[in-house]
Chains A and B, each alone.
Chain A
Amino acid sequence: MKCQKCQKNNADTHIKRVVNGQFEEYHLCSECAREMGYTSVFDGFSHSFSDDFNSLFGSFFENALPARTQATRCETCGSSYNDITRTGMMGCADCYKVFEDRILPTIRRIHGNTTHCGKNSAAYKKEKTEPKAEIKEVSELDKLKNELDKAIKNQEFEKAAELRDKIKEMEG
């Protein structure tokens, strides 16, 4: 698609806006978009994080375009890396894992780093605390039971009694 303003370059910036009660949609090249005061989200970062960002982002969108003959696809949503670079959008949550290696450099350029810091979702917190605690408890318990068996076998009754009490306490 050609830029609606200069009719020369390819339109790579899509602008949706409301002006004077009208919904408008424009397809512009990045140059004309900038002239009209629209810098794309990605454009804006060129100054802040990396001078070669534009060339990098070019690669995010363009170099990946030649379709790989055996393109990897995300099993969950069917997106290929090509689909992602073409639209600038991930297909689903799993795409981040499937295309992790290829997408991480872009994420770093956008945000300046790649590690979340802030609120965690409840599901994640649960995942992180509960199962691990359980596993730990089970293994601790198993360990004690093994030790008890060993103590009885070796006729270390004092130690065995101690271990038995501990086990009772843990099993509640």
Chain B
Amino acid sequence: MSIVMQTRIRLARNLRKYPFPSRLNAAGKNEVVKTVIEAVKNSNSPLADDLDILYVKDLTEAQRISLVESHLASPEFISDSAGRAIILSKDRTMSIMINEEDHIRLQILKKGFDLEGAYDLADKLDTLLDENLDFAFDEKLGYLTQCPTNLGTGMRASVMLHLPALKSGKAVSRIAGNLQKLGLTIRGTYGEGTEPEGAMYQLSNQVTLGISEKAAIDNLKNITTQLVNQELNAQKRMAESLETQDKILRSIGVLKYAKLISCDEAMSLLSNIRFGISCGLIDDIDTETIDTLIGEVQPATMIVNKREELTPQQRDKLRAEIIKNTLR
């Protein structure tokens, strides 16, 4: 789907036997890491035979940041290296952060709009882990988490949305206020605050206690569908204007011929192209190509893929080359 770029489900779980991570000493954290890794390996789950284990302490700064750029780890997770590890499936669909805010943060990341599929997989993985681990759970409060905001299901479901038309109409901040009333939150991804360069937003549920996983997902799904329709309508209107058409097609020109492109500029121009594909102005590029490019041109990810340090100018040059080669 052209508007929903990816779907994520994240489950927070803790081991009953240990204090939560911020009250846990290094030895305890290492024990948790060991216990969780063993449980995953011994589980009959699809993750058991198909995993990479990364210890934060062994990673370079660029590798750590690249995990955040690829939505596999949170900034919180890489802010400290002691007793932290992440288990990743080879295809990166499944991941488990160990000792982030909770002992376990299990994540399913899928392309496109597939909340049910992502939840099914998260649920299966969680059930299999539950066979080998004793989770902190309370009849009344559900899964017990370090921060009370995650109590209950411990589930954060989110979709990444590309909303260029709503953003340009300044509608996103207006919508944000209404979403809060529905127990949802919207936040810019890639870049700062409420006006992200690439017009990409993360929409997720906020309430986790007193609402079942299914109800929370249905709610998010309904609101997402409404937002998508609003965006598509706004795109249709905007696409009729010569100015919009010029802006979109001009973006292809810059991306195909520029020698240096900063990350912000790339995000902004790639967003324009995505918009162009979505409203039918561009038909020889697909959104998947653009989405892959967006991942590849993130600063730390470029350094990791290139396997060498790059100065900001070298990065801008390499970024221009990567984009040019893909769009050629």
Contact = CB atoms under 8 A, between A and B. Distances in A.
A127 to B, nearest CB: 9
Nearest to B196: A37
B87 to A, nearest CB: 20
Interface in B123-143: 123, 126-127, 130-131, 134-143
Contacts of A92: 18-20, 23
B12 interface: no
Contacts of A21: 62, 65, 69, 263, 298-300, 303, 315
Interface of A: 16-23, 25, 36-38, 41-42, 44-45, 47-48, 76-79, 87-93, 96-97, 103, 106-107, 110-124, 128
B152 A117 contact: yes
B316 to A, nearest CB: 11
B65 A119 contact: no
In which size bucket is the chain B interface? 35 or more
A86 B130 CA distance: 32
Contact of B61 (A23, A76, A114): A23
Given A96-B141, A112-B210, A107 B148 contact: yes
16 contacts: A16-B74, A41-B147, A41-B206, A78-B23, A89-B146, A92-B23, A103-B148, A106-B148, A107-B148, A114-B210, A116-B141, A116-B152, A118-B213, A119-B126, A121-B135, A121-B143
A23 B65 contact: yes
Nearest to B22: A89
A19 B151 contact: no
A107 B148 CA distance: 6
B147 A90 contact: yes
Interface centre among A90, A91, A113 (most CB of B within 10 A): A90
Interface string B1-23: 00000000000001010111011
A115 B137 contact: no
A116 B79 contact: no
A130 B43 CA distance: 23
B188 A37 contact: yes
Contact of B206 (A36, A45, A88, A119): A45
Contacts, number: 170
Nearest to B190: A19
Given A22-B299, A77-B19, A121-B137, 4 more contacts: A16-B75, A21-B315, A116-B142, A118-B155
Interface string B189-233: 001111100000000001111111111000000000000000000
B122 to A, nearest CB: 10
A112 B207 contact: yes
B264 A113 contact: no
Interface string B153-197: 101000000000000000000000100111101001001111100
Given A44-B180, A113-B209, A20 B19 contact: no
A119 B78 CA distance: 30
B140 A18 contact: no
Given A18-B68, A23-B65, A41 B149 contact: yes
B19 A91 contact: yes
B156 to A, nearest CB: 11
Contacts of A78: 23
A76 B152 contact: no
A47 B181 contact: yes
B64 interface: yes
A21 to B, nearest CB: 3
Given A21-B300, A23-B78, A88-B147, A116 B191 contact: no
B76 interface: yes
Nearest to A78: B23
Contact of B193 (A38, A107, A113): A38
B323 interface: no
B181 A48 contact: yes
Contacts of B97: none
A38 B188 CA distance: 10
Contacts of A25: 79
A123 B299 contact: no
B144 interface: yes
Interface centre among B123, B139, B263, B264 (most CB of A within 10 A): B139
A152 B142 CA distance: 50
A124 B65 contact: no
Given A36-B192, A48-B183, A22 B65 contact: yes
